[in-house]
Amino acid sequence: MSCRACGSAVPATAKFCHKCGANLKAELPAAAWRVGLPWGIAGAAVGALLTALVLRSGAGRGATNEVQASFGSPLPAPDISQMSPEERASRLFNRVMVLAQADKQDSVSFFLPMAIGAYQQLPALDNDARYHVGLLQLAGGNTTPALAEADTILTSTPTHLFGFVLRAQAYHQLGDRAKERRAYAAFLKNAPAERARNRPEYNDHKTFLDAFHQEAVRRQSAAPR
């Protein structure tokens, strides 16, 4: 086999390229990210919640490049001009989430307007797309537009879990503990019935929702009575 970063021939069993040091096993990004999840969520940082979001199963196809890029390999960016508008928006979303998780704020600022612009060009936004836009806004520290996306989601679907997730993270950034707690409580209250609906977007973000649920339970049991 050959290294995808520099093209050198490498043994099939090698973990790293002997020439450029690229991680040759990076085609398993979901597993790699999952390892970091438990401690990340325990810290309850916004970054940790964003990390978990990257675990969405739909990220599989594009994730290798994104992960390698975040490890600093010289792999070129994918050719986004060949993609459908939906795919382009989704790839840019994944890219910003990975960069935000890696705390590369300069790169986040660079890609963020492009990613949000890609969603604005779509003819219509469903709840999942609105959730992506909300998370992008949060990655840029823009709580007002993120809360607006949460409101739109909850207006169309009053019990949609993504609305409560966006609110919890936005109020966390704003330091509004009371509203943050209320958002977590609303999530817990609606989670059983909502998850039973098997909405496809919940399946896309299953790992994240499971982690968020655990965090909500943890907070509830730790809350003062």
Among 16, 20, 86, 142, binds Zn ion (CB under 5 A): 20
Could you give the C-alpha distances from 41 to 73, 77, 94, 134, in angstroms and in order?
27, 29, 19, 19
Among 1, 13, 14, 19, binds Zn ion (CB under 5 A): 19
Of the two residues 56 and 167, which places its CB atom closer to Zn ion in the complex? 56
Of the two residues 20 and 122, which places its CB atom closer to Zn ion in the complex? 20
Backbone torsions φ then ψ of 38, nearest 5 degrees: -60, -50
Smallest gap from residue 199 Cβ to Zn ion (A): 11
Of the two residues 180 and 204, which places its CB atom closer to Zn ion in the complex? 204
Smallest gap from residue 220 Cβ to Zn ion (A): 26
**Neighbouring residues of 40: CB distance < 8 A, sequence distance ≥ 6:** 47, 48, 51, 52
Of the two residues 162 and 171, which places its CB atom closer to Zn ion in the complex? 162
Is position 5 an interface residue for Zn ion (rule: CB under 5 A)?
yes
Residues 99-128, interacting with Zn ion (CB under 5 A): 128
Of the two residues 22 and 146, which places its CB atom closer to Zn ion in the complex? 22
Is position 161 an interface residue for Zn ion (rule: CB under 5 A)?
no
Is position 22 an interface residue for Zn ion (rule: CB under 5 A)?
yes
Is position 53 an interface residue for Zn ion (rule: CB under 5 A)?
no
Number of residues that bind Zn ion (CB under 5 A): 10
Interface region with Zn ion, contact rule CB under 5 A, candidates 4-12, 28-36, 47-55, 98-106: 4-12
Among 66, 149, 180, 204, binds Zn ion (CB under 5 A): 204
